[in-house]
Chain A
Amino acid sequence: MDLRYSEADETFRKELREWLAQEVPRHGASPARDDWAARRVYDTGWQRKLSDAGYAGINWPREYGGRGATLTEELVYYEEIARAKAPYIGMNFVGIRHGGPTIVAEGSEEQKAVHLPKILRGDEVWCQGFSEPNSGSDLASLSTSAVRDGDHYVVNGHKIWTSFAHSAEFCELLVRTDPDVKKHAGISWLIMPMDLPGIEIRPLPTLLGEIDFSEVFLEDVRIPVENLVGKENDGWRITNVTLRFERGSAWAADIIELNSFLGELAALARRTTRDDALAWEDKALRREIGHLSAEVESLWAWIKASISETAKTGVPGLDGSAIKLGFSELNQRIYELGTNLLGRAGLVREDLGDLPSGRIVDKFLNTLSLTIAAGSSQIQRNIISERILRQPREPR
């Protein structure tokens, strides 16, 4: 049992740290949240820089332009990205973390050649067309239909929670190609160009008032058959393939961020007066901060254990759901404590003087999505209970 990084990992860290120290300040501050044109330039511009320097697609295979990093290098990568406060993956998220890896694993040679280099360089933005108004946690019940007509699928349906829909060139789209079989067996995975006729995008503001995601209405959209990834009706399995790429390190950067935020809260408490005294003199507050920090440490140790296990077995363990559950709920508690520490300053969503009230309040509101998106906490608990603890399935 050893927590030391290898010399090769430390060399990689040093190179990356030097590069980030130079490039992060040069890339400037992120644009306003609602300036979508500027955000696209900012996010994809950063992706281009990563790509030019050889840091794009950290866990993608080398033959497709990725770095093919070892698991520990990947962990170092996320540590350094967080440490340098580098630009967030942002609009590149679906392409780099989801659509791209799916094409790597299941796409045709032509699909790989067309899309992978562009995704890596930030030239293609992707969005995700999975959820539907009536298919959330029960995703496999989706009803958007694709009917074969010559060389095309004719698609009709209604997708929702589609992030970056208005900026994306392509959408990873799940459709029902066979309505007459069991729900998991009739789904296909299509690449949908977002400029096809029949696609209508209606932005859906989040509780932050931002239009990160949209509803997407599809009416007789004709998608060429060559845009099918894998085999027809094999889409459910293909959707789960990307899990192979989630090697447990995805939360690493977020966990390091949480730790530095707790340090920031401690500093804030030492300059906040509450009830005639410094907030930091409140033992209960100190204990709560210490307690939350201890839990952050535990998740960090857990991630390292999970990565070590994957490195040894070659297969990601089952703990992803459990780490996601622990991380998302802890994140909410930490930012809620942040808003509580702000007191009345938390009544506004903008920074007041040197008080980071706007940032903390917005982040707290944002954390509410974490226990819903990518499998709600309730779904994660079902998964843990049934797949890890082997409890009988609930009737469904």
Chain B
Amino acid sequence: MDFQLSEDQQALQAGLRAFVEGNYSFERFPELEKAPLRRETWAELAEMGIFSLRQGEAEGGLELGMVEAVVAFQELGRRLVPGPLVWSHLAAGLVEGAALGETLVGGLDASRGSSDPILVEYGDQLDALLVLRRDGVYQVDAAGLGMELVATPLDPLTPIAHAPALPRGDKLADAETAQRLRDEGAALTAGLLLGIAELTLDYANEYAKTREQFDRPIGSFQAIKHMLADMYVKAQQARHLAYAAAVTLDDPDTGDAIRTVSSAKVVAGESAMHNARKCIQIYGGMGYTWELPPHYYLKRSFVLENAFGTIAQHAERVADRLAA
């Protein structure tokens, strides 16, 4: 047993961190708001292997596993990289051109009855829309949906389009594949949420060392210290469990994959939302402004909470495994 990132995995992490910090700096957030998703940056992500990471070499992929994928998504999460990252990654091998970033694939999970309006992230820009249903994976012609962009999405870096109705589409794969994509999607989304939990901790932690009130750094006050300590615990819980979910998906003999993946989505979701909130609180008045990054992180964590199963849904799934 060696439950630590290998040297190769650390190198992948470091490379991606340098890439996203260079290309998705906080200073660029206001500019990104105008057009969060651009095809040229999408092509760059494809070139980095974000979508083809787990594909075979014959398909131009890197033949890596879920661990590398979750590590990669953790880094993308740290800088709120826009785009239907998880769906396009899952579509690699299913939808032509997805792996190489030529086809922009988004998606919806419609496997449970719901009266929710049909809202699709980046809907107006998609080339293909995957729909997960109980009996399989379907592809819907995105352009034919008549989607309209909503003027004010919650997350300024995640445009949302509204579709009047969702046609059934063409069946691409069976129910088993749909379930596999739901689990892999939950694990990858947990990776993105982990990135948020970590970054908001780091960001608040640095601020608390430099921001002075009453003639000393606010980090010397227990009220702030203890908030940061709780954020640290949350981030660590999210990290190790997200990695465990990835390992278990790669090597199902090491545990109950369903339970571990669902647990990871619960803990990562809660950690991200908790830490983003506390980051805003530690920043005080400045945390409440549009100009500093914390609000983007809280808003994105709500977007991700509503992707690939909510905390409530996954918590129930864990409980069902417990009683099984």
* A contact set with B: CB distance below 8 Å: 1-6, 9, 72, 75, 262-263, 266-267, 270, 280, 283, 286-291, 293-295, 297-299, 301-302, 304-305, 307-309, 311-312, 319, 322, 325-326, 378, 380-382, 384-386, 388-395
Contact = CB atoms under 8 A, between A and B. Distances in A.
Contacts of A386: 225
Contacts of B244: 3, 297, 301, 304
A36 B1 CA distance: 41
Given A2-B251, A311-B2, A388-B232, 18 more contacts: A1-B5, A2-B3, A3-B255, A266-B323, A280-B323, A287-B312, A290-B316, A291-B311, A293-B318, A293-B319, A294-B318, A297-B260, A381-B226, A381-B230, A384-B232, A391-B219, A392-B216, A394-B225
Contact of A389 (B205, B237, B240, B267): B205
Contacts of A308: 1-4
A287 B319 contact: yes
B229 A322 contact: yes
A302 B237 contact: yes
B263 interface: yes
A1 B262 contact: no
Interface string B197-234: 00000000100110000001101111011101110110
Contact of A290 (B205, B264, B314): B314
Interface residues of B, number: 58
Interface of B: 1-6, 9, 67, 205, 208-209, 216-217, 219-222, 224-226, 228-230, 232-233, 236-241, 243-244, 246-248, 251, 253-255, 259-260, 262-264, 266-267, 311-312, 314-320, 322-323
A382 to B, nearest CB: 6
A291 B208 CA distance: 31
Given A386-B225, A392-B219, A4 B251 contact: yes
A380 B233 CA distance: 11
Nearest to A392: B220
A9 B1 contact: yes
A333 to B, nearest CB: 13
Given A2-B2, A4-B1, A262 B322 contact: yes
A392 B220 CA distance: 5
Given A2-B247, A6-B1, A305 B240 contact: yes
Query: What DSSP secondary structure best describes chain A's contact surface?
Result: helix
B232 A305 contact: no
6 contacts: A5-B1, A291-B311, A297-B244, A304-B244, A384-B232, A391-B228
Given A298-B241, A304-B3, A382 B222 contact: yes
B4 A1 contact: yes
B314 A267 contact: no
Interface centre among A1, A6, A297, A381 (most CB of B within 10 A): A1
Contacts of A390: 205, 209
Given A295-B237, A297-B241, A392 B209 contact: yes
Given A1-B4, A1-B6, A380-B229, A393 B220 contact: yes
Contacts of A1: 2-6, 9, 67, 243, 246-247
B233 A325 contact: yes
B240 A385 contact: no
Contact of A322 (B221, B232, B259): B232
A395 B5 CA distance: 38
Nearest to A280: B323
Nearest to A385: B225
Interface centre among A9, A294, A308, A319 (most CB of B within 10 A): A294
Nearest to A287: B315
Contact of B259 (A297, A304, A384): A297
A392 B218 CA distance: 9
A50 B156 CA distance: 62
A1 B314 CA distance: 25
Contact of B237 (A3, A298, A394): A298
B233 A378 contact: no
B254 A3 contact: yes
A75 B241 CA distance: 18
Contacts of B262: 290, 294
Contact of A394 (B221, B248, B251): B221
B246 to A, nearest CB: 8
A359 to B, nearest CB: 19
Contacts of A388: 232
Contacts of A291: 266, 311, 315, 318
Contacts of B263: 293-295, 297-298
Contacts of B240: 298, 301-302, 304-305
A338 B92 CA distance: 45
B1 A266 contact: no
Nearest to B311: A291
A301 B315 contact: no
